Structures are given as C-alpha cells and as structure tokens.
Amino acid sequence: APPPPGPAASAGPTTGATGTTAAKTQVNGGRFDFDDGGTYCGGWEDGKAHGHGVCTGPKGQGAYSGSWHYGFEVSGVYTWPSGSAFEGQWQNGKRHGLGVETRGRWLYRG
C-alpha cells in the first residue's frame, strides 16, 4: 500500500488560509491547500502539522485523520480511495506498532 500523503512531504508553498509558506509558521492552525492538490486542515506549529488534523492527498489519493507530531503521523486512520483503511500507530511517516487494517471483508489486527 502506498504511504499516506502528508503536509511534510508536499512540495511548494501553500495557498488559502495562510497564503504563503512563510506565513504558515505564524499560525496555530487552519486549512492549507498544497500546490499538488492535497489539503491539510488542523493544528500547525513551526511550519509543520502538529496536534490533530486531517490531510487529503492530491487527486483523491486517500486521507489521514488523527494526531500529528511536527509533520509526522502519530495515531489515526488512513483511508484509501477503495475504502480500505488502517487505524493505528505511525512512526516517521509509516505504519508502525499496533493497528487494524480492513480491506472489504478482510481484517488484520496486529
């Protein structure tokens, strides 16, 4: 499965609520639209997603909703366009630790 989209990995300045990359470091949260079409709505600190937020990938690539720690997912739910989902822990932008993955009728816990 592909890794989730994330604000830390998105290239280019943001538009929308903050206007520019420089401006986003001065706000605590809001909606950010990335040049690649992805969006992030939630907490922001030191120019990175921090606290609770929702990030969607470009072109309906998928979405992550949950806790962030300075640009990296901590615990939450990633949903693929197919409807498959992973709910659990993350480390350094990858699924890590306990979690539950569902794909149709298939369920994996571990």
Quick check: is 8 in a domain?
no
Which one-letter amino acid corresponds to residue 39?
A: T
**Structural domain containing residue 45:** 14-109
Name the pTM for this structure.
Answer: 0.73
Q: What is the pLDDT of residues 37-55, one digit of tens each?
A: 999 999 999 889 999 999 9
- Decide: residue 66, CB within 10 A, 0-12 exposed, 13-18 middle, 19+ buried: buried
Residue 17 has pLDDT above 60, yes or no: no
Residue 67: give its domain's CATH number.
Answer: 2.20.110
Q: How confident is the model at residue 27 (pLDDT cuts 50, 70, 90)?
A: low
